[in-house]
Structure 1
């Protein structure tokens, strides 16, 4: 089944910030933000056990417990299993190491085996308080792995998580599965397999105004040829395209700040928000079905829905391309 048959609307909600990403977020702010998303008509919610060691799933489950299960689409991820025991040492999550230091204290295992996949799904269902999932992504396969270890981990996922999720989809337990990653290579390798076949993928941070060249080279042409769809994660590049200071989970470097400044100057010239430019760019590729920005304030939800609906003049897109601020091969809304 294609993601286009599963995902409702072009705007979803990414719950990574609700796992206390970067900072501790009061429960009241979380509740208000999720309610604002629902009131704005958002019905696609994406989460993961990794986000605060289960905290984001728990918080999302509190909202969803008040809504009819058939009224929303829910995706979560496998590849990290949350244990009941506390973490006793400094966890090694590579570039994501300090993201969720304010989350739950539980120990997290990295594992993509069949057993771990089933345990992960069972844990997610419990934390979310639901009886079924719509989409399951294989999370961060190859994150910070290199050489033989990367091959080993991919093979673990291919013979473990991929096969379990394919079986669950074929049995009708879930509606679809794919990869949820911030690198293009594991998706490309998966699309090269004869089987099992994913229904789509969630690509975080790799198809934005600031970072899209690599995805355009090989991944997106492959996906388009095979009719495999993409959900865009992190359309604001960790926040720097939405007035924040982070890029790739770190403080944005000077060259990124400079490029954002050029884009912002152009959006100001045309009287549009930079969020509108960022969101509509990520959704302009034919493979894109939805974008899932995160938020921790109701006002951000209002901004996101306005950005999606804002009328962006064709002159802006022409100038964006003419000034070399996007790859010439990147599809723009004016090309549709």
Structure 2
């Protein structure tokens, strides 16, 4: 089954912020945000054990477990097993250090073996309060977490998680699987394998208005060739394209702030919201099946749904391209 056939619409909801990413979010605010997504008609929800050491899954499950299970699509990730014991050391999250410092205190085991994959899924089902998952992504087997050891982690996943998820898909336990990463190279490597064969991938932050050249060079042509479809994670580049100050999970550097100001100036000239420009650009590539922006406030969900529907004039896209703000190889939204 292709992701486009499986996913109910172009807009999903990403729950990384519900794991207390960057700040501690009150439980009632988190629940209200998930409910707002449901009320806005969103029926695809993506989460992961890593988000706040299970906190995002717990918060998502609290709301979704009361909804009819056949009415929504749910994806989570494997690669992290959440233990009942508390972490006593400062966890090492590579480039993402401190990202979930306000999450649950539970210890996280980072492992992509077959046994860890089974245990990860079992824990996710319990936290989510559901009896099944639709899509499972293999999480973070890339350079940003593992540096030069990433290929070793990839091989662990290839002989472990990949095979388990392929079997579960073949048995009808899940409907699809793939990689959920912030870098293109692990996906390219996976698509080049004879087996196992993924259904698609969730690529975070690498196909946005601010960062898309690299993905266009190799990954996306390869994905088209193999019929693998993409869920776009982080279409707002960690928030900088939605009025925030973060880029790549850190405070945005000066050159990114300058580029965003140029994008905003052109958007204002054409009466376009920067959110609409960011979201519609990310979805314009034929490989893109959906985008999953995250949010921690109910009002943000209405902004996302409005951004998806907003009419953006072709002249805006042409001027962006003429100004060198989008790649000449990037497909533009229909009508541009």
Confirm or deny a common fold (TM above 0.5). Answer: yes
Q: Is the 8 A contact 2:314 2:335 kept in 1?
A: no
Alignment partners' CA distance in 2, 1:255 and 1:146: 24
Match of 1:17 in 2: 17
- TM-fit CA distance, 1:97: 1.5
Residue 250 of structure 2 corresponds to which residue in structure 1?
250
Matched with 1:322 is 322
RMSD between superposed Cα atoms in Å: 0.9
Aligned to 1:144: 145
In the alignment, which residue of structure 1 is the partner of 2:87?
87
Residue 308 of structure 1 pairs with residue 308 of structure 2: yes
Counting only pairs closer than 5 Å after superposition, residues 271-282 of structure 1 correspond to structure 2 as 271-282=271-282
Give the distance between the partners of 1:146 and 1:10, measured in 2 at CA: 33
Cα pair 2:96 2:145 within 8 Å, conserved? no
- Residue 144 of structure 1 and its aligned partner are, at CA, apart by 2.9
Determine the C-alpha separation between the residues in 1 that align with 2:316 and 2:273. Answer: 11
Alignment of 1:54-93 (within 5 A): 54-93=54-93
Q: How many residues are matched?
A: 335
Q: Is the 8 A contact 2:48 2:56 kept in 1?
A: yes
- Counterparts of residues 23-34 of structure 1 (less than 5 Å): 23-34=23-34
> In 1, are the aligned partners of 2:24 and 2:102 still within 8 Å (CA)?
yes
Greater mean alpha carbon deviation, residues 257-266 or residues 90-99: 90-99
- 1:154 to partner: Cα distance: 1.0
Q: CA deviation at 1:223?
A: 0.2
Whether the 8 Å CA contact 1:317–1:334 is kept in 2: the answer is no
Runs (4 or more) in structure 1 with deviation over 4 Å come to none
Cα distance in structure 2, aligned partners of 1:74 and 1:145: 27
Q: Deviations over 1:111-170 (max 9, x none)?
A: 0000000000000000000000000000001243244x2222111000000000000000
1:182 offset after TM fit, Å? 0.2
CA drift of 1:102 comes to 0.5
Q: Which residue is equivalent to 2:213?
A: 213
CA distance in 2, matches of 1:22, 1:176: 31
Q: Deviations over 1:271-313 (max 9, x none)?
A: 1100000000000000001000001111100100000000000
Q: Distance in 2 between matches of 1:144 and 1:30?
A: 27
TM alignment of 1:287-298, pairs within 5 A: 287-298=287-298
Distance 2:64 2:275 in 1: 27
SS at 1:45 equivalent: strand
Structure 1: runs of 5 or more not aligned? none
Gaps of 5+ in 2: none
Instruction: Tell me the residue number matched to 1:197.
Output: 197
Work out whether residues 233 and 293 of structure 1, in 8 Å CA contact, stay in contact via their aligned partners in 2.
yes
Any idea what SS the aligned residue of 2:331 has? coil
Distance, in Å, in 2 between the alignment partners of 1:182 and 1:146 is 13
The alignment partner of 2:145 has SS state of coil
Question: What residue in structure 1 maps to residue 46 of structure 2?
Answer: 46
TM-score in terms of structure 1 length: 0.98
